[in-house]
Amino acid sequence: MERSATIGDQLRHAREAQGLSRADIAARTRIAERYLAALEEDRFADLASSTYAVGFSRAYARTVGLDERAIAQAVRSELAVVKEDRPRPAPTFEPGDPARVPSSRTARLAGIGVVVVIAALLATSGAYYFPAVSLPDLTSDRPAPPPEPKAATPAAVPAPPAEGPVTITATEAGIWVKLVDGSGKQLFQKQMALGESYTVPPDTVDPRLRTGRPDALAITIGGRPIPRLGDKPSVIAVPVSAAALLAPAAPAASTVSQ
């Protein structure tokens, strides 16, 4: 019995029916090809979040002429099934649980305390209980052997920051954005549809973003998500180059008076 077409099958068949490649869809939607492949293979859980999965699938469906609302709802249902089917780990006690095992420092101090107590007992009563046993000479002038050198622990090397193009994706419909370069030249301005993306040209000098909905914009650098520029609606103007977004002191989004 032939299986019914999955969501990914519908997207792929619609694309092929129009003679389009994934590269064509990527150019029209500004969605990376690897994400388009995940959609066509029904690997929705591989995307960064359910918001990306739904938004990207809607943009894909709209581009190839499918019912974007029906596709988006089908993706939501698929993600809900995957979430429910995911096994929940049973609570267990691991013998090596750091929360229940004494730290190495505590264990070491306890061991030293035991040794001191035993040495004191031997020193005060050794002659009575062990007459044939002599304690080591503690008054000898012979220098104690030097301690063995400890192997130097290599310093941890911090992981290099993510690199690559900055991509801005609308997670809601009708999000107004404007991007300019350092000279004020406009790069991009429009009300973005849900799932629509814009990639800042990598050779742009000091690109800056202006929007009233920083909470509805997902930003990635080289495909790697970073924190959003805001958690509530507010008019902001902020630099969006990879260097500025990854600076140790994150570029604070300046609120613009309306």
The CATH number assigned to the domain holding 42 equals: 1.10.260.40
Residue 100 forms part of a structural domain: no
Q: How far apart are CA 77 and CA 60, in angstroms?
A: 17
Q: 76: how many CB neighbours lie within 10 A of its CB?
A: 15
Residue 194 forms part of a structural domain: yes
- Whether the Cβ atoms of residue 72 and residue 57 lie closer than 8 Å to each other: yes
Give the residue from 85, 112, 147 where a domain finishes: 85
pLDDT in tens, 53-94: 999 999 999 999 999 999 999 999 988 876 654 554 444 433
Task: Note down the domain range covering 186.
Answer: 166-255
Residue 171 forms part of a structural domain: yes
Give the residue from 61, 85, 109 where a domain finishes: 85
- CA dist 194 to 14, 97, 176, 204, Å? 20, 44, 11, 25
pLDDT in tens, 189-233: 998 999 899 899 988 999 998 999 989 989 999 888 989 988 899
Beta strands in the chain (DSSP E): 166-170, 175-180, 186-192, 197-199, 208-211, 217-221, 224-226, 236-239, 254-255
Give the residue from 21, 52, 85 where a domain finishes: 85
Q: What's the whole-model pTM score?
A: 0.38
